[in-house]
A and B are shown apart, each in its own frame.
Chain A
């Protein structure tokens, strides 16, 4: 089976600093893959490369969807989203002064097409499209469990709900691959538990592959099929949760030098 996302020896330099060094990574269809590593290991930079916010210095990024394999390097962020990769942000970036529903409706933007004339004349096609956007968005909110907040402004949501809204908004773009940047950051145990069910549920019901950055190791070990560990921009380990927990290189990266050595 072809991987949904295939990243080959990706390198990203900022001036003299190499943030990502020859990283290879694959995400298979309907797989949950975690990317872990200490702070500053280059994880978010990796996401930014994939989603087109940065243009990588070297390496290739391929997205394969329905048997078509496309190179993503150098595409603008909105084109990448259109191809089928959606993301959330580590530091929440909602549209604060828009309602919850509108935030999700923005996600539908790239799958709809009505233009200026449609907006002014509100012809039948535009009306139907608009109605569908509203109902689709509402369905997504129901699924994520945010339907009771529809008309609230995003900025007034509790923290955990804001993180979930980011996911809802990303889902609205109909992605094949969902990138989650520390989705559980700042959440309490109950919220994390719910989040972990939500992520697995998204994968199971929508057939969306998920690549996530997360520091909550319990969450990572519970839901990931495979884990990549990076440090200083380099991959230091790869494997299923059990293998990773036993990997000496990983233990070293997280705990520093082995005290017995």
Chain B
């Protein structure tokens, strides 16, 4: 067995998984609070990547320093993704909070369709090269064929985001309010939690992590188009369901499992069916363990 190849796949899967995790968190948080699959979440990730590309290009053109460009592009991506996340919730989901679930789902699909085509029409249907925002460090050169400095940056960022998020949910007041709302929205409202605010914050935080994911992966892959959000969104959703939707550690675990399985599957078996594989995985999980690895099984309320 070729151990170096194995290690490469292992680390590749880890990187892949941590990017899925950044997107999956948004799904799982929104689902935890309002029990809705936010179909437009992948699009927020895509818009984050586009914003970063545009801002970085403008700044590069103005001749700004490379590090400053990377930081500003990232900040702009986060701000804009958050703004989009916030607006999407207000437009497409808030008016439907008491409507049947089917309505909210259809509205979510509409939102996703709209955003994709909005970027397609306003920008371009073609792939755009994405500037490499994370530099390759020279001292890392000898090991770069196993794990690149970009991948290390991705891993480091993902871990820090996870820690920040956990701290926020465990220890801050808004985090507590989020947990309360996830448990029982009506009760939380009765004890004085501002539900609208909690939901908005959830969308904003989820969008921020998606934007970070968007910039990292775009910089890693080197090109983007309006469609990247769809497949990434689906895969992140698979990861969230795999881990147990609504559970934050579950989303991370599910993402890693999906990242690894994909990495080994494409590395050892075949890359033709890479995307089929994610879907197949989803179908199998939902059939055999719909509550996911870490999810609690739900009992119907009658």
Interface residues of A (CB under 8 A from B): 14, 44, 48, 53-54, 89
Contact = CB atoms under 8 A, between A and B. Distances in A.
Contacts of B302: 44, 48, 53, 89
Contacts of A89: 302
B300 interface: yes
A44 B299 CA distance: 14
A177 B184 CA distance: 35
Interface of B: 299-300, 302
Q: Which 7 A-B pairs have the closest CB atoms?
A: A48-B302, A53-B302, A14-B299, A53-B300, A89-B302, A44-B302, A54-B299
A48 B302 CA distance: 8
5 contacts: A44-B302, A48-B302, A53-B302, A54-B299, A89-B302
A14 B301 CA distance: 12
A48 B299 CA distance: 11
A42 to B, nearest CB: 13
Nearest to A54: B299
Contacts, number: 7
Contacts of A14: 299
A44 B301 CA distance: 10
A54 B297 CA distance: 13
A44 B300 CA distance: 13
Contacts of A48: 302
Contacts of A44: 302
Nearest to B297: A15
B295 to A, nearest CB: 14
Contacts of A54: 299
Nearest to B300: A53
A54 B299 CA distance: 9
A14 B300 CA distance: 12
B294 to A, nearest CB: 15
B98 to A, nearest CB: 13
A55 to B, nearest CB: 11
Contacts of A53: 300, 302
A53 to B, nearest CB: 6
Contacts of B300: 53
A121 B137 CA distance: 75
A89 B302 CA distance: 8
A164 B299 CA distance: 28
B24 to A, nearest CB: 26
A14 B302 CA distance: 14
Nearest to B301: A91
Contacts of B299: 14, 54
A154 to B, nearest CB: 15
A77 to B, nearest CB: 10
A54 B300 CA distance: 9
A53 B302 CA distance: 9
A22 to B, nearest CB: 21
A233 to B, nearest CB: 15
A89 B299 CA distance: 17
B247 to A, nearest CB: 16
A3 B256 CA distance: 56
A213 to B, nearest CB: 13
A14 B299 CA distance: 9
A14 to B, nearest CB: 6
B274 to A, nearest CB: 39
Nearest to A45: B302
A59 to B, nearest CB: 18
A89 B300 CA distance: 14
B249 to A, nearest CB: 19
A14 B296 CA distance: 12
A33 B300 CA distance: 27
A233 B289 CA distance: 30
A14 B298 CA distance: 10
Nearest to B296: A15
Nearest to A87: B302
A182 to B, nearest CB: 13
Nearest to B299: A14
A48 B300 CA distance: 10
B191 to A, nearest CB: 19
A234 B11 CA distance: 56
B148 to A, nearest CB: 46
A54 B298 CA distance: 12
B184 to A, nearest CB: 15
A128 B302 CA distance: 36
B219 to A, nearest CB: 45
A53 B301 CA distance: 10
A78 to B, nearest CB: 15
A87 to B, nearest CB: 10
A39 B300 CA distance: 19
Nearest to A89: B302
A18 to B, nearest CB: 14
A196 B302 CA distance: 24
A201 B302 CA distance: 28
A45 to B, nearest CB: 9
A129 B216 CA distance: 65
B90 to A, nearest CB: 28
